[in-house]
Amino acid sequence: MEQIIIHVDMDAFFASVETRDNPALRGKPLIIGALPGERGVVATCSYEARKYGIHSAMNIKEAYRLCPNGIYMRPDIDKYKAISNQLHEIWNTYASAAETIALDEAYLDVKELARDLDGARRIARTIKQRTRDELGLTCSVGVAYSKTAAKTASEEKKPDGYFEIPSAKDFVDLIIDRDVRVLHTVGEMTAEKLHAFGIRTVRDVQERQETVVRLLGKQGRWITRLAFGIDERKVTPYRPQDAKSIGREVTFQEDVNNYGLLKDVLVLLALCVEHRAKRHGLHGNGVTLKLTYFDMKGITRSRSVPDCDSADAIYQEAARLLDNVEKRPVRLVGVSIYNLSGEEGRQLTLEDYFAEARQQRNAEQKRLLTELQTRYRLDFAGHLDQIYQADTLHRTVEYMRKHS
């Protein structure tokens, strides 16, 4: 095997953590996400809840309709992040390269340490055992010759599963008569497009390669290669600067007509974006405003802004973009920065040479926060950093909405 890749995926991660911490939840349909009666979706759910047809990204109202007697909880993202760090520390021990996909998921290149399939099998079992013993959680692990095959393998025996796909032939034999969605990058819309032309299975892709390429272009060529088990992608460690953007958004529990309130919310979102960017030593070179209106129509507005690295600069540009959108009731508002660069790639500006300019920028940020505190009777003193936590941010925004 030219590559030996392990894909590790936690089983219902958020729900499993909560069940571990509160054994009384064990065996019950647990849904993590928004609460019934709120706007929002399911983040994840226990396997008991999945028996009711509930799944990630489902509207919370639909989940409640399917399972009114379920236990609904908001996610504790900070707790999950802390546990995720422990998980990845265990997993990365065995990899020459590790590609983090999410808090609970990663690809590991284990060829160097494993040497062969037997060695990879031992590593996979060790990872499962350590994850259980040290953190009280279960994971599903796939061992394979490629990234696509490794992910397919980890999903094959969930939960707490193990499966291996040693070769392209083994991969094709496994999936040949499955729906095209088993192939990497084939989502719901792509599958519907292929289905409309009678291409429903991997076998159909193999037999109608020209049609797939004509329909999907470059993606179609990739899909046809996958249908024959060809995936030469390497495990690539994630770097924050590789992200396309850094952003934060909030969904209101009731539609907002007050665009003054929206501007005030932009202050908090800009602070969150600045905090995350600084944590990774990144700067943006553009700002994007995102709105979803009451009828679910979404728009984005962007503008290039060199070295956008302060909450004040992010807010000012987002507020200008907001001034120029159609004024209709808003369901969701978000802010992000894009064209990211690290400290070493950042161009120096005159402001870098004058402390006075930075002080003025900080003073403007302080003024904005002071206005928020006065207008809504908020108190950020000593605990402004809590606003970076998703739950605190949403509670604060809802408080502002009710008192605007």
Q: Show which residues are catalytic.
A: 105
* Main-chain phi, psi angles of 317, to 5 degrees: -75, -40
- Per the CB < 8 A criterion, the answer to whether 265 and 251 are in contact is no
* Beta strand pairing call for 71-73 and 97-102: unpaired
- Per the CB < 8 A criterion, the answer to whether 98 and 91 are in contact is yes
State yes or no: cis peptide before 159, omega within 30 of 0.
yes
- The rounded distance, in Å, linking the Cα atoms of 244 and 270 is 17
Half-sphere exposure of 253 (CA within 13 A, CB side): 14
- The rounded distance, in Å, linking the Cα atoms of 122 and 143 is 11
Q: Which of 365, 342, 335, 317 is nearest to 246 (CA)?
A: 335
Reading the block at residue 237, the tokens are: 């460690």
Alpha helices by DSSP H, 228-331: 259-279, 311-323
Reading the block at residue 28, the tokens are: 């019950």
Alpha helices by DSSP H, 242-382: 259-279, 311-323, 355-376
- Per the CB < 8 A criterion, the answer to whether 270 and 393 are in contact is no
- Per the CB < 8 A criterion, the answer to whether 14 and 75 are in contact is yes
- Per the CB < 8 A criterion, the answer to whether 280 and 374 are in contact is no
- Per the CB < 8 A criterion, the answer to whether 335 and 290 are in contact is yes
State yes or no: cis peptide before 29, omega within 30 of 0.
no
